[in-house]
Copies of this chain bind each other. A is one copy, B any other.
Amino acid sequence: MGGIKMRIKVIVPVSTDIWNKMIEEAYSKHKDPDTEITIVNIKKGPESIEMIYDEVWAELEALLEAEKAEKEGYDAVIDYCFGDPGLMAIKEALDIPVVGLCEPSIHIASTLGRKFSVVSVGGMKAKGMVLERVKSYGLEHKLASVRLVEIKVLDIKKDFDKLVEALYEEAKKAVEEDGADVIVLGCGSLLNIAEILQKRLGVPVIDPGLAALKYTEMLVKLGLKQSKKAYPKPYEKKRTM
């Protein structure tokens, strides 16, 4: 018996395509055999998302891409950023499953331990964005801490070893000082790191990009998508841009 065929569109809500290939490689490796992946970034918007401010610059473009994806016949959409920019609006707009990075990651974390920490790049300025997401998803009481290294998203590729070491140091403190049972990496660009940290730390470390992929495949296979009672179809009205 074969697997379920499905086509997923991954929307990277930044105005640069530097991540697309990296995501494509990771997704090729981890997707189910019968899953087809298309990765696009938005054409206009911020070059990276590190704060709530950046999200506002990305949301409408991401939303329009998502609406286009549904029209193109995709089975699901991934909003590929840990800030889940515009996610609830896209859930309202679409009748196919829509998945962010933060929402599935922290829910999976919540089933693997009693407390989790989010460890990421972007510096302390990014903390508010993470806190708002966790609060909105109702898992604030399970958040041990948010620890962010002072490396900007666009500098991630500069020195991979230094990046891993910095994340490891914070993740270790999260486990030893803050009481985290599980670590959630807080950025979609931190690919190929979770496994390394998991081995060194001895606790589960979640890669949000991969978590989003497997969670989406799971939803499609289960025939599930966001409740249209919670996220109803928007009214028809005049909207200009």
A interface residues with partner B (beta carbon < 8 Å): 1-3, 15, 28, 30, 32-33, 44-48, 50-57, 59-60, 63, 86, 88-89, 92-93, 99, 103-104, 107-108, 110-115, 124-125, 128, 131-132, 135-139, 141-142, 152, 154, 175, 181-182, 195, 198, 202-204, 206-207, 210-211, 214-215, 217-219, 221-235, 237-241
Contact = CB atoms under 8 A, between A and B. Distances in A.
A221 B3 CA distance: 15
A229 B238 CA distance: 38
A51 B234 CA distance: 7
A63 to B, nearest CB: 5
26 contacts: A15-B238, A15-B239, A15-B240, A30-B222, A44-B241, A52-B88, A52-B92, A52-B231, A55-B89, A56-B86, A88-B132, A99-B111, A107-B111, A108-B224, A110-B138, A111-B215, A112-B227, A113-B227, A114-B131, A125-B233, A128-B230, A128-B231, A132-B136, A204-B226, A214-B221, A215-B218
